[in-house]
Amino acid sequence: MNKLPSDEEKFQTVIEKNTFFKTNVEFYRQYEVDTIDTLKQKLLELHGRIKNSNSEKEELVKFMQEYDDGLKCVLILLGISDEFFQRLIHASRILNKPKLNELLNLDEWDKKVFDKTPVEWSIERMTKMARENAKVADGIANIIFQGSTIPILIEKVPIFEMKKLDPTKLKFSIESLIDTILRYRMKGSLTASKKSNAEGMIESILKKHSINYTNGKLPEVPDNITRTMDFIIPNKKNPEIIIESSNLATTSSGMGDKAKAEIQMRRAIEKHYPNATFIGFNDGAGWLVRKNDLRRMVSGQDDVFTFHDDELKRFEDFILKEYPHLCDAEK
């Protein structure tokens, strides 16, 4: 065998022979024809049908029933991701509120629609439901035309997402298309913004009562447990409360790893910080789908809260009752 290259030579290979954006050219060419051009033509068809129709809603229902990708076209036009739509319908089934059920015609979707432990429906399954059942397609159209008026949705869904449920977008107006483009482009920036994070609600409670806190990695926790804590109260040297937040609107395979690591984290805290209480703020539609991971997650925490107003009040009361000496630290 020839002498293996040095680390520097391997490094230079990647730098000097980098293809920048190398892709499977033939695959992308075919994707343009089979997917992009096809969806574009169907969206233009929908535009024409809506423009010449006396009932935009009826035309929308017909469109979703005629095409295998009819629902996908509608979601693209509104700027709604498949995953968010799946979460929206799944959450609606769990909430099981009469007005929302009536709006969506949920009773007509499936005999297991209101199971105690419902399995989330894929976008493919809901597309098939809409094609085969006019009541399902009508329910989807209803949530687009009236969803923004339903109190429970206004309460549960962020305004950034609610604004996407806008029937005027079906008219392809310049203003509505600009709105869709903006929301698509700014979604990542909004998610990354610290001000949009639910953790700010915890911070507000701590600041309200002048409670000292920090964040980061606990010094006595072994290096193989690479977890950083969102709130360590009052400090890393002698923590009394350790808080980790996991507010997930979407799902990922990493949720399973996170749940397993939580159990390891609890054991490390029990060993190195036996007087500390390990609290989890676990919330978001993602956990409603990954319930087995959620069970493992909470088993690694001493107590659990969500970002519901009632839960935030319970957390505040817990702090005031159990740790009054931590309050008003600045006084």
User: Which CATH code for domain 197-326?
Assistant: 3.40.1350
Distance CA 48, CA 207 (A): 55
pLDDT at 12: 92
pLDDT at 292: 84
Domain-wise residue ranges, the chain? 13-192, 197-326
- Across the chain, mean pLDDT equals 88
pLDDT at 191: 63
| CA–CA–CA angle 131, 37, 176 (5° rounding) | 75
- Mapped onto helix, strand or coil, the DSSP state of residue 282 is strand
Indicate if the pLDDT at residue 233 is higher than 90.
yes
pLDDT single digits (tens) 103-135:
999 999 988 888 877 888 999 999 999 999 999
CA distances from 192 to 134, 189, 197, 279, 283 (A): 39, 5, 8, 23, 17
Distance CA 301, CA 276 (A): 11
- The structure tokens listed for 129 are 């439901």
pLDDT single digits (tens) 251-309:
666 777 778 788 888 889 999 999 999 999 988 888 888 888 888 888 888 999 998 88
pLDDT at 195: 55
pLDDT single digits (tens) 141-194:
999 999 988 999 988 888 988 999 999 999 888 998 899 989 888 877 666 655
Distance CA 207, CA 330 (A): 10
Query: Buried b vs exposed e over 33-61: b needs ≥16 C-beta within 10 Å?
Result: eeeeeeeeebeeebeebbeeeeebbebbb
